[in-house]
Amino acid sequence: DAKTTQPPSMDCAEGRAANLPCNHSTISGNEYVYWYRQIHSQGPQYIIHGLKNNETNEMASLIITEDRKSSTLILPHATLRDTAVYYCIVRVHTGANSKLTFGKGITLSVRP
């Protein structure tokens, strides 16, 4: 899987949008961008994923640049419960082994 680069941490104010960046400059044409988050002592929670187009669901929006070398996860109205480690992952299907490779992620702290 392609390598991703995320800053180690960021913070934002409650109620404001949180924009979490991710670089994946070596991404291939058939690799998806996935975002998960992990709140302390819980399992990773799926947020959103995309291939080329921007995506939106009830949790977040995913903006992928036209060259696909970077993306941004947007939490439109961050709450204290959004404080977590957020992982950006690029994923390619390699036969039956479709494991996820989690990096160190970015720690988002939402302040009151």
Partner 1 sequence: DVKVTQSSRYLVKRTGEKVFLECVQDMDHENMFWYRQDPGLGLRLIYFSYDVKMKEKGDIPEGYSVSREKKERFSLILESASTNQTSMYLCASSTPDIAQPQHFGDGTRLSIL
4, 106 Cβ separation under 8 angstroms: no
Q: What x-and-dash track marks residues 35-74 binding partner 1 by CB under 8 A? A: ------xxxxxx--x-x-----------------------
Between the alpha carbon of residue 84 and those of residues 13, 30, 74, 95, 108, the distances in Å are 14, 29, 14, 32, 6
Q: Which residue stretch of 5-13, 14-22, 74-82, 98-106 sits at the interface with partner 1 (rule: CB under 8 A)?
A: 98-106
Does residue 107 bind partner 1 (CB under 8 A)?
no
| 35 residue type, one letter | W
Site for partner 1 in 3-42 (CB under 8 A): 32, 34, 41-42
Q: Which residue stretch of 17-25, 63-71, 76-84, 88-96 sits at the interface with partner 1 (rule: CB under 8 A)?
A: 88-96
Residues near 43 by beta carbon (within 8 Å), at least 6 away in sequence: none
Measured over the CA atoms of residue 70, residue 44, residue 59 and residue 74, the dihedral's sign is: negative
Residue that is written with structure tokens 């949790």 in the block: 59
Q: Which of 3, 52, 93, 111 binds partner 1 (CB under 8 A)?
A: 93
Residues contributing to the site for partner 1 (CB under 8 A): 32, 34, 41-46, 49, 51, 91-93, 96-104
